[in-house]
Amino acid sequence: MAIIVGWIPTKEGRAALRRAAQEAQLRRTKLVVVNSHRGGRDFSAEEAAKFEDALADVQQQLDADGIEHEVRQLVRGNDPAEDLVDVAEESNADFIVIGLRRRTPVGKLILGSNAQRILLDASCPVLAVKSTPDD
C-alpha cells in the first residue's frame, strides 16, 4: 500500500506534497511522488533538468523527515492524470493526493481538467488540497 501524490513545483504541488507527507507519516506507509510530463518538443532538456533538480530537493526533504518514499519522473506521452491513476493502480494505493487551483470556466473547457479526470478515473479515494499563502 502507498500514498500517491502528483507533484509539480508550484504552490499547489507543494501543498499536495506537504499533506501527502503528513498522511504517510501518520499511516506509516510509503509515499510515491509522481511528476508527469507529456514530453515531446515542448519539453526541453533544460526544463527536464530543472524538474530533476527540484525532485532531488523533494527527495532530500523526505529523507530528512524520515519518510519512506519513491520519486518517479514520468515522461512517456501520457496526461498527468493518466500517469497518476496508473501508478496508483500499480501500487495498490490507499489514496491519491492532488493540489487544486482555481480556473476559469473557459480555462476548464479549453485545457481540460487533470483533477477532474483523476477524481473520476481513480479506483481509490482522492484527497484534493488547496494551497495556502505559506506555499
Residues 22-46: tens digit of each pLDDT: 999 999 999 999 998 766 566 677 7
Q: Are 57 and 95 in contact (CB under 8 A)?
A: no
Strands 69-75, 30-37: pairing kind? parallel
Q: Are 39 and 130 in contact (CB under 8 A)?
A: no
| 111/101 Cα distance (integer angstroms) | 13
The mean per-residue pLDDT over the stretch 49-60 comes to: 90
The pTM of the full predicted model, rounded to 2 decimals, is: 0.87
* Sheet hosting strand 126-130, strand order edge to edge: 69-75, 30-37, 2-6, 95-100, 126-130
Domains of the chain: 2-130 (3.40.50.620)
Q: Which position has the grid cell 526541453?
A: 44
